[in-house]
Homo-oligomer: A and B are copies of this chain.
Amino acid sequence: MIPAGAPIDMTIKRLIPLLTEGDTIVDGGNSNYKDTLRRAALLKDKGINYIDVGTSGGIWGLTEGYSMMAGGESDAVEQLRPVLETLAPAPDLGWGRVGPSGSGHFVKMVHNGIEYGMMQAYAEGFAIMDKKDEFNLDLHRVAEIWRYGSVVRSWLLDLISEALAENPGLEGIAPFVEDSGEGRWTVTEAIDLNVAAPVITMSLLRRLLSREEEDYSDKLLAAMRNKFGGHKIKKEG
């Protein structure tokens, strides 16, 4: 597995002399679709196919099969059929060509944006229930109930249930959430397309905030409140 970004370009550079016209390179990682467009154009000039296969499924893909969104020429994608059928959850399910070069990574990028939004929706809901002390809710039980028959049933909910079974109090887990590039790209792409995507955007911003220990904006707000209203400032430390 080659990390997205510069290593891809280096690898392509090294592969070019080894390939001949009609050969195909597959990028199954989380590359930015704009890089993919650039790379596909470069390789097209040399008669080499460049297929982007946006791949979802995480560490479960190996056993459950991957969901794969392929971008590139139809013929070249068709050549990959045996590979894709093998990696997919079933030969005819969970994979397909979604469009020309770049579209596979584009669709995967949006997939991750949606993923951020869904995760945040669950996280907020469970946080509300966690704070409702008077009902003393067993959140693992709630997750289990919802897994069957409810409108919010999903694979992510299955994982939440599993996580809560193993660690009901989420002990020892820091409230610190990383983000990979794809959420950011989705947010920026939405703005570029003039599409308002408040939920995906807020999901990203919440992650940024989760990693901020000394938020400047909050300090300035506290200073302002002190200035106009004489509201006491909480001292640090």
- Assess whether A16 is interfacial by the CB under 8 Å rule: no
- Of the listed residues A67, A154, A224, the one surrounded by the most CB atoms of chain B closer than 10 A to its CB is A224
Task: Count residues of A near B (Cβ-Cβ below 8 Å).
Answer: 133
Q: Do A223 and B173 form a contact, CB below 8 Å, given A151-B156, A196-B212?
A: yes
Main secondary structure of the interface of A (DSSP, over half): helix
- Assess whether A42 is interfacial by the CB under 8 Å rule: no
The chain B residue sitting closest to A154, CB to CB, is B154
Number of copies: 4
- Assess whether A15 is interfacial by the CB under 8 Å rule: no
A61 to B229, alpha carbons, bound, how many Å? 10
Interface residues, chain A, with chain B CB atoms under 8 Å away: 56-61, 64-69, 71, 88-90, 93-96, 98-100, 102-103, 106-107, 110-132, 135-138, 141-142, 144-157, 159-160, 162-163, 167, 170, 172-178, 184, 186-191, 193-212, 214-231, 233-237
